[in-house]
Structure 1
Amino acid sequence: MYQRLVKVVYTNFEWQCGLLGIEVPHPNKLFARHLTRHGKEEEEEEEEEEEEEQQQKKKKKKKKKKKKKKKKKKKKKKKQ
């Protein structure tokens, strides 16, 4: 029942576009376009999250390096 309704609506859409002289893409292509657009948005969000994580990791590494340097300096001072 639902599939028939969709076909009727789409054929009506095709008919209207035909009257206007517009080329009608296949409904699967329309749906695929929507998916790709939505997918791109999700990918962008994921990329932003990954970049943030990488920046946080870099900050942690810098902090660790600073701590190591401080420890080395303290050891040198103690030896002297």
Structure 2
Amino acid sequence: MVKNKVVIKERDAWTDLANFIGEMVAKYADAMGLDQLPDPDNYLRMKRIKQLYKELYKTENIEKFRSIIISIERNAAA
């Protein structure tokens, strides 16, 4: 059981809801298996890699890289 609590001196309309959600998460954290959730850093890293691949395979980039490869092949064949 988690006994950590946040004390807020000024209460507003959202304080009770935030406290309720915090208490429910603390109470049911073991049952929800929060420790078994995937690593968000890994998800964000994979998302960035996909974004970079999309940038790499845009038409203008493909043409640019094809011209570099062709010039290298021409130099190797000569």
- Does TM, scored on the shorter chain, surpass 0.5? no
Between Structure 1 and Structure 2, the one with more helix by share is 1
| Structure with larger Rg | 1
Q: Normalising by the residue count of structure 2, what TM-score does the alignment of the two structures yield? A: 0.34
Q: Normalising by the residue count of structure 1, what TM-score does the alignment of the two structures yield? A: 0.33
